[in-house]
Amino acid sequence: MTKRSLPKHVGFIPDGNRRWATQRGLAKQEGYRFGIEPGLALFELCKKLGIPEVSVYGFTQDNTKRASPQIQAFRSACVEFALEIARRGAALLVVGKYGSSQLPDELRPFQTRQGEGIKVNFLANYHWEWDLAGLAEGRIRSQEVSQLDLIVRWGGGRRLSGFLPVQSVYADFYVVEDYWPDFKPEHLDQALAWFKNQDQTLGG
Amino acid sequence: MTKRSLPKHVGFIPDGNRRWATQRGLAKQEGYRFGIEPGLALFELCKKLGIPEVSVYGFTQDNTKRASPQIQAFRSACVEFALEIARRGAALLVVGKYGSSQLPDELRPFQTRQGEGIKVNFLANYHWEWDLAGLAEGRIRSQEVSQLDLIVRWGGGRRLSGFLPVQSVYADFYVVEDYWPDFKPEHLDQALAWFKNQDQTLGG
């Protein structure tokens, strides 16, 4: 067992957008657009800290069964976020079911990694079963995504909700009670400080 | 989202045996035998509460790379625990790499589920890669183990450590800071009370 420094790969589950909107008397779907600026702030922080790879839970195939205004809202927010980080400089890969109308057209160029800089794996129209089904042909479909060291989830939920099951097997899991639109840089600071104090065993 | 009552399937990660032993000035391997009685107490509690299925992390293929006295000690503790719950009445299935000398002979009869009562899936010589590799032939090797609702881990670690990745995708994760040999019935009570207050979304 060794103490760690900075994680090499961090997963982010930005949950709580709808609860945040409801709390403010807004329609649920209004919450998503308030998640874009926090996402960009978090992206800049990770770049500055020198974290080499991050994975972000955009939306899942299950999410596309929600009410239509919500679907339009999270798709739109995901596209805006992804294109903006690509513009700012990232090696962006979109991971999700590609041959599907649920994957926004704007994200299709990133089915292979594009750009240079911090690696960002953005899960869009993702489903863990779709991912694992690749093993029937010898490799998971998210094969290009490395093992996660740390996962940070906002919104208080203590579960993975289908987030990259293979890459999550040894990851430390840090939960922020605040809803995602209330993101503060301190959340990441606290998660990283906590992470440094966890023993690494990798199953050993 | 609906509020839940009793979980149908609970996973248990009884971690911290070695740290518990070290804290008491004992050799690390001495910790394992102090985990048997707590395991039996937990088993009786689950039966009494009417939880229909539980999965228990016995030991992994990675664990068999530890120092020899530790390996002998956790193998022996796992065998004693498993045979005793079989004797008391359980539908016991051992899940782990079967064609391996690391699987104790006493556990081999349980490669198919034996007995009647509460379903107990006992992971022995388990590895998540071994489990998922079954997908190359169409199904995971732990196919008979149902989806988990709740996972309880002792010893303060906030990670799955390779525990049933497919069944864990939507599970709520509850961490007990106490080491496993310090198990108290209140730990389970608290985990179940907490679980009842979590919203169930199943990815939706």
Beta strands in A61-188 (DSSP E): 91-95, 119-126, 150-154, 172-176
Q: Would the CB atoms of A65 and B204 count as touching at under 8 Å? A: yes
Q: What is the ipTM of this complex?
A: 0.95
Position A125 confidence tier, pLDDT thresholds 50, 70, 90: very high
Instruction: Tell me which residues of chain A have a C-beta less than 8 Å from any C-beta of chain B.
Output: 60, 62-63, 65-66, 128, 132-133, 135-136, 138, 157-162, 165-166, 168-174, 198, 201-204
Asked if the Cβ–Cβ distance from A159 to B170 is below 8 Å, we say yes
- Output the pLDDT for position A2: 54
Is-contact B119 B148, C-beta < 8 A?
no
Q: Where are the domains of chain A?
A: 12-181
**Mean pLDDT score of chain A, rounded to an integer?**
95
Q: How far is CA A170 from the centre of its chain?
A: 17
pLDDT tier at A204 (50, 70, 90 boundaries)? low
| Confidence bin at A170 (pLDDT 50/70/90) | very high
User: Over the stretch A10-66, which tens digit does the pLDDT of each residue have?
Assistant: 999 999 999 999 999 999 999 999 999 999 999 999 999 999 999 999 999 999 999
* Tens-digit pLDDT profile for residues B84-109: 999 999 999 999 999 899 999 999 99
pLDDT of residue B191: 98
- Please determine, for residue A200, whether its predicted confidence score (pLDDT) is greater than 80: no
d(CA B128, CA B61) in angstroms, rounded, equals 9
| Average pLDDT over chain B, rounded to an integer | 95
Q: In B, which residues are within 8 Å of A138 by CB distance?
A: 136
Cβ-proximal residues to B68 (8 Å cutoff; 6+ apart), any chain? none
Contact at 8 Å (CB) between B141 and B95? Answer: yes
CB contact under 8 A, B174 and A158: yes
Residue B104 dihedral angles phi and psi, to the nearest 5°: -60, 140
Residues of B near A (CB-CB distance < 8 A)? 60, 62-63, 65-66, 128, 132-133, 135-136, 138, 157-162, 165-166, 168-174, 198, 201-204
Of A136, A173, A203, the CB nearest to B158: A173
CB contact under 8 A, B203 and A62: yes
B42 token code pair: 């937990």
* The pLDDT of residue A199: 77
* Protein fold of A12-181: Undecaprenyl pyrophosphate synthetase (3.40.1180)
Task: Decide if pLDDT at A4 tops 90.
Answer: no
Query: Distance between CA atoms of A158 and A154, rounded to whole angstroms?
Result: 9
Contact A157 B198 (CB under 8 A): yes
No. of H helices and E strands in chain A?
Answer: 6, 8
Question: Cβ B165–A169 below 8 Å, yes or no?
Answer: yes
Is the CA virtual torsion B27, B29, B33, B39 positive or negative?
positive
Query: CATH code for B2-200?
Result: 3.40.1180.10
Contact A176, A154 (CB under 8 A): yes
CB contact under 8 A, A161 and B203: yes
Q: Which residue of B has its CA nearest to A136?
A: B136
Contact residues, chain B, for A198 at CB < 8 Å: 157-158
Q: Residue B42: how many CB atoms within 10 A of its CB?
A: 21
For residues A17 and A14, give the distance between their C-alpha atoms in angstroms, rounded to a whole number. Answer: 8
A173 SS3 class: strand
Residue of B nearest to A139 (CA): B136
Q: Which of B128, B138, B204 sits opposite A62 (nearest CB)?
A: B204
Q: Which residues of B touch A96 (CB under 8 A)?
A: none
Tell me how far apart the alpha carbons of residues A44 and A38 are, in angstroms, rounded to a whole number: 10
Q: Model confidence over B139-187: pLDDT tens digits?
A: 999 999 999 999 999 999 999 999 999 999 999 999 999 999 999 999 9
Is residue A3 over pLDDT 90?
no
